[in-house]
Structure 1
Amino acid sequence: MNQTGTILRKGRKFDQVLRGARDVFMADGFEGASVDDIARAAGVSKATLYSYFPDKRLLFMEVAQTECRLMSERILSMIDETRPAREVLTIAATQLVGFLTSKFAQQVFRICVAERDRFPELGRAFYAAGPENGQRQLCAYLEKAVAAGELVIEDIPLAAEQFSELCKTRLWTRAVFGIQDSFTQAEIDEVAQSAVDMFMARYGA
Structure 2
Amino acid sequence: MTQSATILRTGRKFDQVLRGAREVFMGDGFEGANVDDIARAAGVSKATLYSYFPDKRLLFMEVAQTECRLMSERILSMIDETKPAREVLTIAATQLTGFLVSDFAQKVFRICMAERDRFPELGRAFYAAGPENGQRQLCDYLEKAVAAGELVIADIPMAAEQFSELCKTRLWTRAAFGIQNSFTQAEIDEVALQAVDTFMARYGA
Q: Please give the range of the TM-score, normalised by the shorter of the 2 chains.
A: over 0.9
- Map 1:34-73 → 2, pairs under 5 A: 34-73=34-73
Q: Which residue pairs with 1:142 in the alignment?
A: 142
Residue in structure 2 matched with residue 126 of structure 1 by the alignment:
126
CA distance in 1, matches of 2:65, 2:80: 25
The alpha carbon displacement at 1:83 in A equals 0.1
One-letter code of the match for 1:88?
V
Counterpart of 1:82? 82
Q: For residue 151 of structure 1, what is the aligned residue in structure 2? A: 151
Paired-residue identity, %: 90
Q: What is the CA-CA distance between 1:53 and the residue it aligns to? A: 0.3
TM-score when normalising by structure 2:
0.98
State whether residues 100 and 168 of structure 2, in contact with CA within 8 Å, keep that contact through their aligned partners in structure 1. yes
Q: Deviations over 1:59-114 (max 9, x none)?
A: 00000000000000000000000000000000000000000000000000000000
Residue of structure 1 equivalent to 2:33: 33
In structure 2, relative to structure 1, the CA distance for the partners of 1:151 and 1:54 (3 Å cut) is same
Once residues 17 and 121 of structure 2 are traced to their aligned partners in structure 1, the CA distance between those partners, rounded to angstroms, is 21
* Secondary structure, counterpart of 2:6 in structure 1: coil
What's the offset of the Cα at 1:5?
6.4
8 Å Cα contact 1:61/1:126 also seen in 2: yes
Q: How far, CA to CA, are the matches of 1:4 and 1:115 in structure 2?
A: 25
Q: 1:93, 1:195 within 8 Å by CA — same for their partners in 2?
A: yes
Note the 1:175-190 alignment, pairs <5 A. Answer: 175-190=175-190
Q: How does 1:7-22 map to 2 (within 5 A)?
A: 7-22=7-22
Contact 2:152 2:203 in 1 (8 A): yes
Give TM-score scaled by structure 1 length.
Answer: 0.98
Structure 1 residue 26, shift from structure 2 partner: 0.3
Q: Deviations over 1:9-64 (max 9, x none)?
A: 10100000000000000000000000000000000000000000000000000000
Distance in 1 (alpha carbons) for counterparts of 2:190 and 2:9: 38
The alpha-carbon distance between structure 1 residues 203 and 54, as it changes in their structure 2 partners (threshold 3 A), is same
Query: Does the CA-based 8 Å contact 2:5-2:52 persist in structure 1?
Result: no
1:6 shift after superposition: 3.1
Distance in 1, Cα, partners of 2:74 & 2:41 = 26
Please tell me whether the aligned partners of residues 4 and 51 of structure 2 are also in contact (alpha carbons under 8 angstroms). Answer: no
Alignment partner, residue 166 of structure 2: 166
How many residues matched?
205
CA distance in 1, matches of 2:181, 2:120: 26
After superposition, the Cα gap between the structure-2 partners of 1:2 and 1:11, relative to the gap in structure 1 and judged at 3 Å, is farther
CA distance in 2, matches of 1:42, 1:177: 31
Q: Unpaired runs of 5+ in structure 2?
A: none
Counterpart amino acid of 2:13? K
Q: Would the aligned equivalents of 1:75 and 1:95 in 2 still touch at CA under 8 Å?
A: yes
